[in-house]
Amino acid sequence: MSARSPILIAGAAGLLGTAIADALVERGGRLVLADLHTEPLEALAQRLGADAVPLAEALDFRDEERVLRFVSSATSAVGHLAACVNAVGIEGPIVPTDQLDLDTVRDVYETNVFAAVSLVKAIVPGMRTRGEGRIINIASGAGLSGGEFMSAYHSSKHAMVGLTRSMARELAALGISVNAVCPGCIESPMLERIELALSELSDRWLASWRRSASASTPSALAASSRRCSSASNSRCRS
């Protein structure tokens, strides 16, 4: 793959997507950008310039038909897409698991998992025909561990890691490499929202837990806490 082979960045207007776009352009990359949010996408494309970004389009990657049309039009406009970086994602609800609203969970999976499947369905046929291609999925460290009050997000990132591993085995023989990047916490508006919600929720949860445990003796409460901690750590390691 040459430095000027077109690379699609999905979720380009986000913090990671923008950083990836900047790094690729610095190396002479030629990009096709797409993101749900029009204004930051247009600002990014304008800053990078038309030579580096021949095509940028606002797109909801949850809409499979639109994704198929977009990839088709992009291929017609700039030639074959040699690589794809999927940086689409949302944090979703931050609540105790037993209080989750299933519609919000579905929305997380539509964005964090099913959008990736739609993108793969659109881009892989062309790569298969050429016998080469690269797909990079931005997953998360959350896809390798659990996390309190964010079961929808963590489980969706586990799904992304599993999807990537499965695609890698399936497509390797066709000359298509598939990898996932699992970053840890990154200073961003998303992290700020998560930290704020977790701090508020944890304070409420802790106060509620203390009230419910008020009838227990200190020794029984300490023993219960140790058992819960040990069970939680065991599950995280498994």
Domain map (residue ranges) of the chain? 6-186, 193-237
The structure's pTM equals: 0.81
Q: Say yes or no: domain 6-186 is CATH 3.40.640.10.
A: no
Per-residue burial over 102-139, b if 16 or more Cβ lie within 10 Å, else e, is eeebebbbbbbbbbbebbbebbbeebeeeebbbbbbbb
Per-residue burial over 223-237, b if 16 or more Cβ lie within 10 Å, else e, is eeeeeeeeeeeeeee
- CA–CA dist 74, 122 (Å, integer): 11
Q: Which residues are catalytic?
A: 153
Average model confidence (pLDDT) across the chain: 85
Residues with Cβ within 8 Å of 15's Cβ and at least 6 positions away in sequence, in order, are 186, 188, 189, 190
Amino acid identity, position 220: A
- CA–CA dist 225, 203 (Å, integer): 17
Burial of 34 (0-12, 13-18, 19+ CB in 10 A): buried
**Per-residue model confidence as pLDDT tens digits over 40-90:** 999 999 999 999 999 999 999 999 999 999 999 999 999 999 999 999 999
Can you list the alpha helix ranges (DSSP code H) found in 64-188? 64-78, 102-109, 115-130, 151-171
Q: What is the pLDDT of residue 207?
A: 55
If one counts every other C-beta atom within 10 angstroms of the C-beta of residue 17, the result is: 25
pLDDT band at 147 (very low <50, low <70, confident <90, very high): confident
Provide the residue count of the chain: 238
| Lookup result for tokens 């539509």 | 110
